[in-house]
Amino acid sequence: MTERALIIGASGGIGSALTEALRWRGAEVTGLSRSGDGLDVTDEANVAAHLGALEGTFDRIVVASGALEISGAEPEKTLKTLSPEAMLDQFRLNALGPALVLKHGLALLPRERRSVFAVLSARVGSIGDNRLGGWISYRTAKAALNQVIRTSAIEIARTRKPAICVALHPGTVQTAFTEKYLGRHPSVPASEAAENLLNVMDGLTPIDTGGFFDWTGAQLLW
């Protein structure tokens, strides 16, 4: 049976790499993005219209949308630079957006066979792993996203027992998203990150639903 996959944010660095990798594997891939299709994950009516137009179910849905900088607002180095507008922008795109995709994409997950719904989160969204501070708005939005996944997975398991709903940390990936922030951190090309993420997803079972994993498959602290 040919795998059907839906990639949200398919025009981005990781999203396009996931699309290419899945197609190379022989999957039937549907990609949606703001630049290519007008998908605005922060607008519920827009999300409902785009996802409502899709037919059938998908074995894998990956939300690869998101941004570290929005409207030119860089991650805060100190609490003194926190901006209400910048923080709300981070919540809209990085927490609310995936939540809306999950809300309206739930009907696209099969009830009787295994499926994966994965969102790209970030290790900096871990509260337990935070020892450096900074990046308050981005960290907080990703922490909120992790809670969305954890909570939703509990509900989804009641009606779709084979479904797996997880947050994934892809590592530091060489994309336009991270270009200014690579510094001394080890990084990998988007193509390698995509293969790592797909391998992690392929190894998950329903018992892992609601979890937070990195690109090696290791479980991360909340």
Determine if the pTM surpasses 0.85: yes
Q: Which two tokens stand for residue 49?
A: 């219209």
Spatial separation of the C-alpha atoms in residues 205 and 13, rounded to whole Å? 27
Per-residue DSSP letter, 75: P
CA torsion through residues 131, 133, 138, 142, sign: positive
Burial of 193 (C-beta count, 10 Å sphere; 0-12/13-18/19+): buried
What domains are defined for the chain?
4-214 (3.40.50.720)
CB 123 within 8 A of CB 129: yes
CB 93 within 8 A of CB 38: no
Strand partners, 7: 31, 62
pLDDT digits (tens, 9 = 90+) for 96-153: 999 999 999 999 999 999 999 999 999 999 999 998 999 999 999 999 999 999 999 9
Is residue 1 very low, low, confident or very high in pLDDT (cuts 50, 70, 90)? confident
Spatial separation of the C-alpha atoms in residues 148 and 127, rounded to whole Å? 15
pLDDT given for residue 179 in this prediction: 61
Spatial separation of the C-alpha atoms in residues 41 and 50, rounded to whole Å? 10
CB 125 within 8 A of CB 146: yes
pLDDT digits (tens, 9 = 90+) for 45-103: 999 999 999 999 999 999 999 999 999 999 999 999 999 999 999 999 999 999 999 99
- What value does the mean pLDDT take over residues 24-45? 97
Strand partners, 8: 32, 63
pLDDT digits (tens, 9 = 90+) for 180-194: 655 666 778 889 999
